[in-house]
Amino acid sequence: MKYIKYQTKDNKVFVGILEDETIYRLNYESIIDAIKDEEDIKKYYLNNFKDCLDDVKVLTPVDPSKIVCVGLNYNDHANELSMNIPSEPLLFLKPSTSVIAHEENIIYPKDTKKLDFEAELGLVVLSEINNKNNEDVFDIAYTIINDVTARDLQEKDGQWTRSKSFDTFCPIGPVVATGINPSNLRICSKVNNEIKQDSNTGYMIFSPKELIHYISSIMTLKEGDLIATGTPPGIDHLEHGDKIEIIVEKIGILRNIVK
């Protein structure tokens, strides 16, 4: 199921289930609380009040305390860069202040001359995970993340904090999806309707499960935290006014404009 958080024209905020263009309102304040009651919700949501997607403003689906990102996690991307396959995941963080919603603007900072997009499958942590509960089944759902990057600053600084952390550098959403298999999803990006990246999550070097095991052995993952699982080949630059869309099969389209 696809969960969406949104604001109506009279400025009220709701969580709902999205099916095509129809949103079925739910009586929950957070998507994660709703997902925890999914079995009950399935029984009644079709009778609920309906909104139309075209009439609402989509909000960020979760409020992460951190976004843990993985560098170089696609076989085909490593081949493109002639880089060796890493033996363990390369991690970095984006701050929660970089998060924006579907249809909000990515601000092109004055400090960079090379602004790139990166299409990524996002994992949404539904309940706390740490190395003390070393289980094999994790409570996660899925979203889309654009890991926006100031490529010239990444190269110049040698480490990635500045290049990955500007305000608006982490578009997420538009929905959180449950009940999908993350190991076989088409993942694409388009700039002004031209396809740039077109791959499949099956080419990941470290699977979502392996990433969660690895990351939670280092830091506690809190409810609502996000993991950006890396990007496939074909990353490219963005210019002022560009429309960037990240498409992940069974989740949707995350669309933003560069200002």
Residues engaged in binding Mg ion (CB under 5 A): 118, 147, 231
- Of residues 16 and 234, the one with the C-beta less far from Mg ion: 234
Separation CA 206–CA 109 (nearest Å): 32
Tokens 């309102």 locate to 25
Minimum CB distance to Mg ion, residue 147 (Å): 3
- Of residues 189 and 216, the one with the C-beta less far from Mg ion: 189
- Of residues 154 and 216, the one with the C-beta less far from Mg ion: 154
- Of residues 118 and 223, the one with the C-beta less far from Mg ion: 118
Contacts of 65 (CB under 8 A, 6+ apart): 96, 222, 224, 225
- Cβ-based burial of 137 (10 A; exposed 0-12, middle 13-18, buried ≥19): exposed
Minimum CB distance to Mg ion, residue 145 (Å): 8
Minimum CB distance to Mg ion, residue 122 (Å): 11
- Of residues 74 and 108, the one with the C-beta less far from Mg ion: 74
Minimum CB distance to Mg ion, residue 71 (Å): 6
Separation CA 142–CA 172 (nearest Å): 11
Of all residues in the shown chain, the one whose CB is closest to Mg ion is 147
Hey, what amino acid is at 176?
A: V
Contact 124, 2 (CB under 8 A): no
Minimum CB distance to Mg ion, residue 228 (Å): 6
Q: What end-to-end distance do the CA atoms of the chain give, in Å?
A: 33
